[in-house]
Structures are given as C-alpha cells and as structure tokens.
Amino acid sequence: MRNLFTLMKVFICILALIFVRVDILFAGGVDENMNQSAEYTRTLNRNASTDSADASFYNPAGLVKLGDGTYISVSNQFIFKNYRHEVSGTEYKTDYPTLFFHDIYAVYKKDRWSAFASLTVPGGGGKVDYKDGSSTTLGLRTQIASSLSSALGGSTITNSSMSIMADSYYLGGTMGGAYAVSDLVSLSIGLRYISVTNFTDGAETWKQGPAAVPITVDLEYDEKAQGLGGILGINISPKKELNIGLRYETRTDLNLETSVRRQSVTVNGTTNAILSAALATNGKKRRNDLPAMLGSGASYMVSPELRAEVDFNYYFTQQANADDAKRNYKDSWESGFA
C-alpha cells in the first residue's frame, strides 16, 4: 500500500509538471537573453536556483548552497525561428535557425565560499535572412530614394527588390565569487566583459523609369564594441523549503564602431558618391548600451518531489544610452511561474 501511495505521488508530480506549469511573459528586454542554460528551458524560471552551475548567471549568491567541489556545465540550444511582421499591408518573414547558442559554467565551492566563471551570450545570438526585405530596409529605402531623386534631378525612383541578412552576437565572459554570511544570507559580486559583433548584408535594386538601367545598392558592414559591467547578488533562505534570489546587473556601456566591408553603388560617378554618403560610414560610432536589469525569484519545495518557482525581471531600458530607435523604448519587465 505504501508503494502504491508513493507511485501515486510521483504520478501527480508528473502531471503537475506537464499541465500545471504557467508562464506569463511580457516584453522582456530589448537585447537581453534569459535563456542561458539547458536547465532554463525546463521551467523558464531560474532566478532562485541553487542546484546547478548555471546559477552563476541566474542566482550567483546561491552558489554557496552547492556541496563542496568543482562543477562544470556545458550546453547548447537549437533555436528554430519563424519571425513575421507586417508593415502597410506587406508581410516580411524569416525562418533562419540558430544552431549554436552556447553556455559554459564552472564553479568551485569550499566551505562558505564559491568562485565562478562563465561564457554566455547575454544578448543577440541569432541570424535573420529577410529575402524580400524587412521593416529595417523600409527606413533605408526612404533615405536612398530621397538621395537618388535629388541626385538625378527630381526623377521618380521606384524600388523593385530588396533583401537583408543580419546577425548580432554578444559574447559575455564573467568571473566572480560568493560568500555565505550566515545560513540565512549569502552575497555575491562579479565582473562581466561583453564583446559585441553586429553584421549586416543588404541589397536593393531601383529603377528610374521603365526603360532605365537598374540602379543597385549593395552593402556589407559590421559593428563592434566592448564593455564592462558589474553583477551583484543576494540569496536569502528564510526556511529550509523557501529560497529567494536577487541579482542586479549594471548597465554596460557599448560604443559600436562601423567597419564597411563592401559598398557598391551603380548609378553614375556623382550620384554614387552622394548615395554612398547616405549609407554606412567606415569608422562611424553609435551608442547602444546593454541596459541594467534586476532579476528576482523565489522557489518553494511543496514536497520532496514538487517545487514551485516564480521569477520577475525588470529592465531599465530608459537609463541606457542609445543613438537609434531604442532611445524611445520604455522600461520593460517579464514574470513567470512554474
């Protein structure tokens, strides 16, 4: 009878994991990624985690809860995308997959101390391939059309095709430590270095009347930046079954510098120069900081077989410096329960 009761408890827990999980996700951050481990994909709530090396990202102060020893975690995520958006009745789409989205964690725990290091992708990490253009190229189209029309004496210019392929990759390396002040409270501090690479390859074709020779614009460039940020954490365990994790990531200042790899404009000598000036400029810099964020979470052991978790993340987007449309974005947040 006892074995039957145990089996029923396990069965109920499995049903809870399958059917009862609820995740309420809102805007989240503009550039930030929270899917930083394979463990995260199980519940989507890891801000109060203390059971694995990936707590280095989600709850670094909670690493002191691990047993003494060395822990290493390596995982990769395959992300299959189906992005679609519509502008003025025209739909733009891409389904280019992300096959490499890695995370590496290493933790050493001894007595009240823990040291940790990680290699993650805190922002970007994906490629898009819009074969018929996107809302991004629409803005460029307006700029180019105006430049072409002025250079060609006010002629009517029409766009016949456009495409864009782009990827963005934020590589983050973090090192830090955690210390258990008491059985109730532990603290952590870390330093994160971020290297950003954005790549864009776009092409557009224009016509100056039905019989005119097509005008082509072909552009390939990348943007790179590096920055440092701090990460502070606190873990609170009011009772054996309850754990609360908090972490604050400071703003990372990023000043992106443009390097033009290819820029080809085929109109005529004068117009080529005018149009090229309206496109990407080699050496040009723009600010695009990674905003500060506050992550919080709580976990509660309902029973030895069942744990409830809740997360809340707040992104201070308005405090970040940006030279593009992101400067108009408001702060955002996301929450989840599992």
pLDDT in tens, 120-169: 999 987 888 888 877 766 666 666 666 666 666 656 666 667 888 889 99
Let me know if residue 271 belongs to a domain.
Answer: yes
Q: Which CATH number belongs to the domain containing residue 274 in this structure?
A: 2.40.160.60
Please say whether the beta carbons of 334 and 25 come within 8 A.
yes
CA–CA distance, 189 with 138 (Å, rounded to integer): 44
Radius of gyration of the chain (CA): 25
Domain count, the chain: 1
CB-CB neighbours of 289 under 10 Å: 20
* Per-residue pLDDT tens listing for the chain (338 residues): 445 444 444 444 443 443 343 443 333 578 899 999 999 998 999 999 999 999 999 999 999 999 999 999 999 998 888 888 787 777 888 888 988 899 999 999 999 999 999 999 999 878 888 888 777 666 666 666 666 666 666 566 666 678 888 899 999 999 999 999 999 999 999 999 999 999 988 887 777 665 566 777 788 889 999 999 999 999 999 999 999 999 999 999 999 999 988 877 765 555 566 566 656 678 999 999 999 999 999 999 999 989 999 999 999 999 998 887 666 788 999 999 98
Please say whether the beta carbons of 59 and 245 come within 8 A.
yes
Let me know if residue 285 belongs to a domain.
Answer: yes
Let me know if residue 325 belongs to a domain.
Answer: no
Let me know if residue 242 belongs to a domain.
Answer: yes
Q: Which region holds residue 165: left if phi is over 0, alpha if psi is between -120 and 50, else beta?
A: beta
Let me know if residue 82 belongs to a domain.
Answer: yes
> What pLDDT does 145 receive?
65
- C-alpha pair distances (Å), 64 with each of 110, 182, 311: 8, 11, 20
> What pLDDT does 113 receive?
98
Domain extent at residue 82? 49-290
> What pLDDT does 86 receive?
80
CA–CA distance, 79 with 236 (Å, rounded to integer): 34
Task: Give me the count of residues in the chain.
Answer: 338
Concatenating the DSSP letter of every residue in 251-314 gives PB--EEEEEEEEEEEES-HHHHHHHHHHS--TT-EEEBPBPEEEEEEEEEEEETTEEEEEEEEE
pTM, rounded to two decimals? 0.83
Let me know if residue 315 belongs to a domain.
Answer: no
Nearest to 87 by CA among 134, 120, 119, 122: 134
> What pLDDT does 27 receive?
38
CA–CA distance, 32 with 48 (Å, rounded to integer): 19
